[in-house]
Amino acid sequence: MKIAMTARLLAERRRLLAHKDWTRQQLEAFQVEALGALRKHTYTRSPFYQQFHKGLYEASLHELPALSKEMLMEHFDELVTDREIHLADVKSYAASQRAGEEFLGRYRVQSTSGTSGHPGLFLYNQQEWSGMLAAAFCAFQGAGIRISLTHRTKMAQITSTNPSHMSMQGSASMGSWWMPMLQLAASEPVTSLIERLNDWQPEAMTAYASIIRILAEEQIAGRLHIAPRTVISGSEVLTPETRRRAVQAWGNVLFNMYGTTDCGGIGAECDRHRGMHLREDLAIVEVVDRENRPVATGEYGDRLLVTVLGSRTQPLIRYQLDDSLRLLADPCPCGRPFRLIGEIQGRVHEILEFPAAFPDRAGSVKVHPIVFHNIMDTLPVGGWQVVQQVDGLHLLLADVQAPLDEAQLADRVTKALTKQGVAATRIHIQRVDSIPQTAAGKTPLVKSNLH
């Protein structure tokens, strides 16, 4: 890591770490000041926002319109605050970049996978990037990872090796003498992951939740032999069963974190394991319904509206994320001033819709992923996936480890759907060699191919 970047990162980390000792009043005062600075910068330099918020410059945040990813990409050149940035050039750069390179010599470019059908490109200047890394370091420290210039922590990161992916660039930036980093692709064969992890013996490990579950099974089976002091799950929904198996494999060292390429770190779990702290010193997060109306504390929303307080190159004000989560009413006993995220149900596109069984229902019924997790997580299989197709629901099973009554499984799923009010749906069970992954190496457990 370059000396200048290291100095910026450490200074930013010190600043962020001090926030955990704030009162709630101090936090809210900071948000008001930071939001004002963001809006002033944005209205001065972004032609898009000058029109998008026209007549609303003095309005409260909740009166402003929401910004979708489609809108952001459609008005990309007018939304960014540097007039030298043009979408065509960014696309060309993203298609050919190598890890560590900077667009125009000063910007990191990140891309989303577009699993929702709308891929996006996001830029960070050097200060923004240092802030992103510092927030990750704070989350790591809260998870018990010791980070200092005098102590080395061996890390293993199992995510995507795409140069434009957040995890790849993050690990390339963080890897150094004081944080040696083993970067592994989530798409690698499990036998390769086991061999390389056994050789590396990481003190800390970060991975997709689906990979953590696989590795926990390998540890329990006696093929993986590592003893990490911290395991961090990110980028996918962490289910209770995956957590249970990780604890069985390594002890109570699993920490859940929530972040996106678009908005950076949003939530991180502390050592009390009561939920993820919403990083409200980095972003203002609104949990809303489909009409962008706030939902009550403790209730699941349909989406989030996120205002990233430190965004300057590509300002994100009330930016829409199609994630469904709920906030807890009670504060964490650790004393931090941040609200707690109770659970993330999964991205809205993972919530399947089926025809309703009853005429008094409004045409369709939404079924949350947890309905399938409650059944599929109990099966004696190495991996599973539920895929909604035109001809019905396909249950993919990999590495079946014990006798399995497929008719009984189909009946359990049918009864669960019936209980949800779903009309009769055909169930297809397929045994496969492996569960299909996305280009980024993720394994979505519940997905629809109807869109």
| Domains of the chain from N-terminus onward | 3-347 (3.40.50.12780), 351-448 (3.30.300)
Q: What is the average pLDDT across 269-297? A: 96
* C-beta of residue 382 within 8 angstroms of C-beta of residue 398: yes
Strand partners, 124: 108
Q: What pLDDT sits at residue 169? A: 53
Q: Read off the pLDDT band of 199 (50, 70, 90).
A: very high
Inform me whether the pLDDT recorded for 241 exceeds 90: no
How is the chain split among helix, strand and coil, in percent rounded to 5? 35, 25, 40
- For residue range 4-49, what is the model confidence (pLDDT) as tens digits? 667 777 788 889 999 999 999 999 999 999 999 999 999 999 999 9
Query: Which one is predicted more confidently, 217 or 312?
Result: 312
Q: What pLDDT sits at residue 118? A: 60
Q: What is the average pLDDT across 389-401? A: 93
Inform me whether the pLDDT recorded for 165 exceeds 60: no
C-alpha span between 159 and 97 (Å, rounded)? 18
Across 32-36, 180-184, 285-289, 325-329, least confident range: 180-184
- For residue range 99-123, what is the model confidence (pLDDT) as tens digits? 567 999 999 998 875 544 467 899 9
Query: Which one is predicted more confidently, 144 or 304?
Result: 304
Query: Which one is predicted more confidently, 451 or 329?
Result: 329
Q: What is the average pLDDT across 396-416? A: 93
Strand ranges, E, within 101-187: 107-111, 121-125, 155-159, 181-185
Inform me whether the pLDDT recorded for 216 exceeds 60: yes
Across 60-64, 151-155, 165-169, 238-242, least confident range: 165-169
Q: What pLDDT sits at residue 117? A: 46
Query: Which has the closest alpha carbon to 191: 221, 163, 165, 167?
Result: 221
Q: Read off the pLDDT band of 65 (50, 70, 90).
A: very high
C-alpha span between 60 and 32 (Å, rounded)? 10
Q: What pLDDT sits at residue 343? A: 84
DSSP conformational letter for 190:
H
- For residue range 331-369, what is the model confidence (pLDDT) as tens digits? 999 999 999 999 887 665 577 889 988 765 557 887 878
Strand partners, 422: 356
Inform me whether the pLDDT recorded for 417 exceeds 60: yes
Inform me whether the pLDDT recorded for 162 exceeds 60: no
Q: Read off the pLDDT band of 186 (50, 70, 90).
A: confident
Query: Which has the closest alpha carbon to 234: 265, 204, 193?
Result: 265
Q: What pLDDT sits at residue 116? A: 46
The size of the chain, in residues, is: 451
Query: Which one is predicted more confidently, 52 or 446?
Result: 52
Per the listing, tokens 């970049």 go with: 97
Residue 372, Cβ density class (10 Å: 0-12 exposed, 13-18 middle, ≥19 buried): buried
Q: What is the mean pLDDT of the chain?
A: 88
Model pTM? 0.79
Inform me whether the pLDDT recorded for 50 exceeds 70: yes
- For residue range 120-158, what is the model confidence (pLDDT) as tens digits? 899 999 999 988 888 988 888 888 887 666 667 899 999
CA angle 156, 161, 164 (to 5 degrees): 125
Q: What pLDDT sits at residue 435? A: 86
Inform me whether the pLDDT recorded for 438 exceeds 60: yes
